[in-house]
Structure 1
Amino acid sequence: MKNFRFRKANLQDSPGLAYVHVHSWRTTYEGIVSHEYLQSLSIEEREQEWVQILSGSHHTYVCEVEDGKIVGFVSFGKERSGEYEGELYAIYLLEEYQGKGIGKELFGIAAAGLEKQGYNSMWIWVLKENPSKHFYYALKPALIKEEKLTIGGESHQEEGLLLELH
């Protein structure tokens, strides 16, 4: 992975994060989430969300290639419901960069970051139909719950996984 660099995201990364976020959704969830919904995702709107996130205290890390282009990212922190400890908020990678170990490296950054914050476990939400969910299951998490989630007016099943970090 000598051509990839991993670092903490900064405000100037908002456009690159938005691009990866939208395009990875379009490729990962094509055939699962409605095509119309995926095409309606706005890079500009997502960029504004990233500006807000990166303007505050955050734990978002990017992977960039030699020319500085962001090809993947991970975001993590305190679990949002208060039921668990740490949470993997998002991990996305452009399709053409999958299978190169980048996702594993980003996941490792999140796990180490959560441990550094004093958390012993990581909560992960994943769409049941997500073709990449085997990535999480290879780590032997516990399937704790399933919930319905509405995306683009359609109902989807989401799996809540708990991974022990030690």
Structure 2
Amino acid sequence: MKVQIRKATIEDASGIAKVHVRSWQETYQGIVSQDYLDSLKVDDRKPLWKKSLSESADTSPVFVAVNSEGEIVGFASFGKERSGNFDADGELYAIYILKEYQGMKLGMKLLLAGLEDLLKQDYEAMLVWVLADNESRKFYESLQPQKAGEEVVNIAGKKYLEVAYIWKNIKMLHQTTIEKL
């Protein structure tokens, strides 16, 4: 199954929104309330992605994984660290890949594309937040980050522990990612 990684354009908003919703429903089943997961709608996410892809495409890049039929099957979103509470200038906002495309190193390929973009923008360190109960946390841990903090987040009226990981040297993370591919 051939999958290509490329920078997202505004025309990708709908495909990214579909992956965003479906991967939340797949990834967080049994973690986040099923009622909440069932309430997620692609049409609610589409305008958010259109806005993001049109306003901050240069400074907050999004990369997509596209299958041979031209469908988006995964994406990763990057940019400036949002809280200002950590010793990181960059942040990996999200990597989502449809379940049937997981295990094909798409996460690594999407991460690599984003790291290369962040390096061109002279970012030096990167943070990522991940729900503690999310199995995908192991993906990040395999890249040897430092644990930077924890916070409790509220999703649909329930509290969940979120963990922040930091890589103090994006150049080293870039090299590690290449080696894992």
Indicate the TM-score class for this superposition, using the shorter chain for normalisation. over 0.9
Matched, 1:120 2:119: no
* 2:39 aligned residue: 40
SS of corresponding position for 2:23: helix
Q: CA RMSD in A?
A: 1.1
State the distance in 1 between where 2:17 and 2:89 align. 27
Q: Could you tell me which of 153, 160, 163 is aligned with 2:164?
A: 160
Q: Could you tell me which of 121, 128, 137 is aligned with 2:141?
A: 137
Per the TM alignment, residue 82 of structure 1 is displaced from its structure 2 partner at its CA by 2.5
* 1:27 aligned residue: 26
Structure 2, unaligned runs of 5 or more: 173-181
Question: Does the CA-based 8 Å contact 1:76-1:110 persist in structure 2?
Answer: yes
- Point out the more displaced range, 23-32 or 48-57: 48-57
State the distance in 2 between where 1:72 and 1:110 align. 13
Q: How does 1:16-95 map to 2 (within 5 A)?
A: 16-58=15-57, 59-83=61-85, 84-95=88-99
State the distance in 2 between where 1:13 and 1:114 align. 21
Q: How does 1:2-17 map to 2 (within 5 A)?
A: 3-17=2-16
* Dislocated runs of 4+, deviation >2 Å: none
Question: Does the CA-based 8 Å contact 1:74-1:90 persist in structure 2?
Answer: yes
State the distance in 1 between where 2:117 and 2:9 align. 17
State the distance in 2 between where 1:157 and 1:52 align. 29
SS of corresponding position for 2:77: strand
Per the TM alignment, residue 55 of structure 1 is displaced from its structure 2 partner at its CA by 1.3
Question: Does the CA-based 8 Å contact 1:111-1:122 persist in structure 2?
Answer: no
State the distance in 2 between where 1:61 and 1:98 align. 16
Structure 1, unaligned runs of 5 or more: none
TM-score (norm 2): 0.88
- Amino acid of the structure 1 residue aligned with 2:80: K
State the distance in 2 between where 1:113 and 1:123 align. 15
TM-score (norm 1): 0.96
Aligned sequence identity (%): 45
- Amino acid of the structure 1 residue aligned with 2:9: N
- Amino acid of the structure 2 residue aligned with 1:57: S
- Amino acid of the structure 1 residue aligned with 2:29: E
Question: Does the CA-based 8 Å contact 1:114-1:122 persist in structure 2?
Answer: no
